[in-house]
Chains A and B, each alone.
Chain A
Amino acid sequence: MSIIASTGILNHVDGSSEFESHSTKVVCSVTGPIEPKARQELPTQLALEIIVRPAKGVPNTREKLIEDKLRGVLTPLIARYLYPRRLCQITFQVMEAGEPELEFSQRELSCCINAAVLALVDSGIGLLAMASSVPLAIIKGQLVVDPNAQQLQESQSVHTLALEITESGKNVQNILLLDSTGAFTQNELFQILSQGEERCLTLVQELRKVLGDRINSEIIRTKT
């Protein structure tokens, strides 16, 4: 498992994070709660503005699709009822895609989810649960967790799994996202769920460690 993550890297936003796994690297920033534009405002809940910007070129439908999936994952995580008529801007900048952009978006999507969780915690916006996400691929009937760019290209089907995790990262509460493309069997899908769950649980521990380390380094504890 090779992730590199850090939080609080940007100065002019409320929360920020950087998440790197293999050669995929994403920076996420969270600003909020702030005053929304009239058309964004929701009378009872926090409105979310999610923006994904690619490493190369201008954002197009591919990024819009990622944004849409991210919205589906992040909406149930945030305690939106706490901030009625407010707005939260969540911006993602892909620094390195780490996969062929024309065919795949799994690696970027799962890195975005992990980065968003870190940045949201950093921003201090109320969350209902933690989450983590992992990309998976099936190559010749074999399941590969967290495939790299080459493995993605050899695969028959690719999947992104995101889980809602509670109780100090021990209990899987819900499946937030299971996004699959390609041909696969029912058995393979069950295998994806069980192995993905395992990886998500270890990943969330690592995310908790990143956050814990940061808090420990920032807070000076004095003996009373």
Chain B
Amino acid sequence: MAKDIEFSTSENKFILDALRQNLRLDGRSFDQFRDVDIKFGKEYGDVTVTMGKTKIHCRISCQIAQPYEDRPFEGLFLISTETSPMAGPQFENGNSTGEDEVLCVRIIEKAVRRSGALDVEGLCIVAGSKCWAIRADVHFLDCDGGLLDASCIAVMTALLHFKKPDITVLGDRVTVHPTDEREPVPLGILHIPICVTFSFFNPQDTEENIKGDSNAEIAIIDANLKEELLRDGTLTVTLNKNREVVQVSKAGGLPMDALSLMENCYKAYTITEKLTDQILACVKEDDSKRNQYAGLLSSENARDAT
């Protein structure tokens, strides 16, 4: 971060005291995720996710490229997350070498790319010479905490929403059909990872945290910016609806009891379920809006239900 945001000591103390009394300044309970609002742009793969005062825009684009030599059957997939001062003056333009930025980028990378959420083999056109290169550009418009969770939702929704132009392959000749000529085809999405971030606070002194058995540490879900700046530790759990842990990252910070960490994972699962359903419903709704005349124009014969 370029310039650290600082709050007054009294404000810090107020937030922490409130947390000790089971209260959060925005009125949420400790394990309440902010409401997620998903909006689509005019084109396929253009998604804006709003979560409280956090706003993230994701744009998917594709072009034909050459696959890596050691992976001739796989297409390319790149997630680009560059910061700009638009999200807040603490971000520097295009500088992603800060600790938080690196962690954020790595976790998105692990959650979406390395977990195989996108079927890269389905992007192959001609083995070894041509494949689709899919690019996800994540733009942080407004940052009020939870950038990681929101980015993950944005990328996954955009990937589900995106459609690439249809192609015909004849030997080595590849014809790309413009979208007005042939219906574009969606990408192959194998699973939908959802990130849920927990923030830990230590209400006691450090020694009690390390040696004691009280386990009185406070864990809250989906912290906002102020809570993020004050927290002692963080845990990001990425799960999908198949009850698979895709990625967990607790990179240091406040030591936490293993059992309470497990509990957090289960809490994250209920949120994952809810968000997955919401994302799928949003994509479906938008799709039916775009294709409201598809049924009328279809030349397919009605099929027997048997």
Q: Across the two chains, which residue of chain B brings its CB closest to A11? A: B53
Q: Which of A27, A56, A89 contacts B141 (CB 8 A)?
A: A27
- The segment out of B25-33, B86-94, B105-113, B261-269 that lies at the interface is B86-94
Assess the B42–A96 pair: CB atoms within 8 A: yes
Chain B residues with a Cβ closer than 8 Å to the other chain, count:
28
Distance from B35 Cβ to chain A, minimum over Cβ atoms (Å): 16
Q: Which of B43, B80, B82, B142 contacts A10 (CB 8 A)?
A: B142
A25 CA to B94 CA, complexed, in Å: 21
Assess the B46–A95 pair: CB atoms within 8 A: yes
Q: Across the two chains, which residue of chain B brings its CB closest to A31? A: B89
Assess the A93–B137 pair: CB atoms within 8 A: no
Distance from B97 Cβ to chain A, minimum over Cβ atoms (Å): 16
Within 8 A of B (CB), among A25-59: 25, 27, 29, 31, 34-35, 49, 51, 53, 55-59
Assess the B144–A12 pair: CB atoms within 8 A: yes
Chain B 217-232 interface 0/1 with A at a Cβ cutoff of 8 Å (1 = within)? 0000000010000000
Assess the A13–B86 pair: CB atoms within 8 A: yes
Distance from A124 Cβ to chain B, minimum over Cβ atoms (Å): 16
Among B86, B87, B93, residue most surrounded by chain A Cβ atoms (within 10 Å): B86
Q: For residue B38, which residues in chain A have a CB less than 8 angstroms away from its CB? A: none
Assess the B89–A89 pair: CB atoms within 8 A: yes
Chain A 8-28 interface 0/1 with B at a Cβ cutoff of 8 Å (1 = within)? 001111001000000101010
Assess the A10–B139 pair: CB atoms within 8 A: no
Assess the B142–A11 pair: CB atoms within 8 A: yes
Q: For residue B84, which residues in chain A have a CB less than 8 angstroms away from its CB? A: 51, 53, 91, 93
Distance from A119 Cβ to chain B, minimum over Cβ atoms (Å): 10
Chain A 75-91 interface 0/1 with B at a Cβ cutoff of 8 Å (1 = within)? 00000000000000101
Given contacts A11-B144, A96-B43, contact A57 B137 (CB under 8 A): yes
Given contacts A12-B88, A93-B86, contact A55 B42 (CB under 8 A): no
Given contacts A12-B144, A93-B139, contact A34 B89 (CB under 8 A): yes
A164 CA to B143 CA, complexed, in Å: 34
Distance from A202 Cβ to chain B, minimum over Cβ atoms (Å): 25
- The segment out of B15-23, B54-62, B67-75 that lies at the interface is B54-62
Distance from B162 Cβ to chain A, minimum over Cβ atoms (Å): 12
Within 8 A of B (CB), among A61-120: 89, 91, 93, 95-96
Q: Which of B41, B82, B87 contacts A12 (CB 8 A)?
A: B87
Q: Across the two chains, which residue of chain A brings its CB closest to B62? A: A56
Q: For residue A34, which residues in chain B have a CB less than 8 angstroms away from its CB? A: 89
Given contacts A12-B144, A13-B89, A23-B42, contact A53 B53 (CB under 8 A): no
Chain A CB within 8 A of B135 CB: yes
Q: For residue A29, which residues in chain B have a CB less than 8 angstroms away from its CB? A: 85-86
Assess the A10–B46 pair: CB atoms within 8 A: no
Q: Across the two chains, which residue of chain A brings its CB closest to B48? A: A95
A96 CA to B82 CA, complexed, in Å: 17
Q: Across the two chains, which residue of chain A brings its CB closest to B53? A: A11
Within 8 A of A (CB), among B77-135: 80, 82, 84-89, 93-94, 135
Distance from B154 Cβ to chain A, minimum over Cβ atoms (Å): 13
Q: Which of B85, B135, B141, B143 contacts A57 (CB 8 A)?
A: B135
Q: Across the two chains, which residue of chain B brings its CB closest to A56? A: B61
Q: For residue B141, which residues in chain A have a CB less than 8 angstroms away from its CB? A: 10, 27, 93
Q: Can you report 9 A-B residue pairs in the complex whose CB atoms are below 8 A from each other?
A: A12-B225, A27-B141, A31-B85, A53-B86, A89-B85, A93-B139, A93-B141, A95-B41, A96-B42
- Per CB-CB distance, the 9 closest pairs between chain A and chain B, nearest first, are A12-B88, A56-B61, A91-B86, A29-B86, A11-B53, A10-B142, A89-B85, A31-B89, A51-B93
Interface residues of A (CB under 8 A from B): 10-13, 16, 23, 25, 27, 29, 31, 34-35, 49, 51, 53, 55-59, 89, 91, 93, 95-96
Q: A91-B93, A93-B141, A96-B43 are in contact. List 16 more A-B contacts (CB 8 A).
A: A11-B53, A11-B142, A11-B144, A12-B53, A12-B88, A12-B225, A13-B89, A31-B85, A31-B89, A34-B89, A49-B85, A53-B86, A57-B135, A59-B94, A91-B84, A91-B86
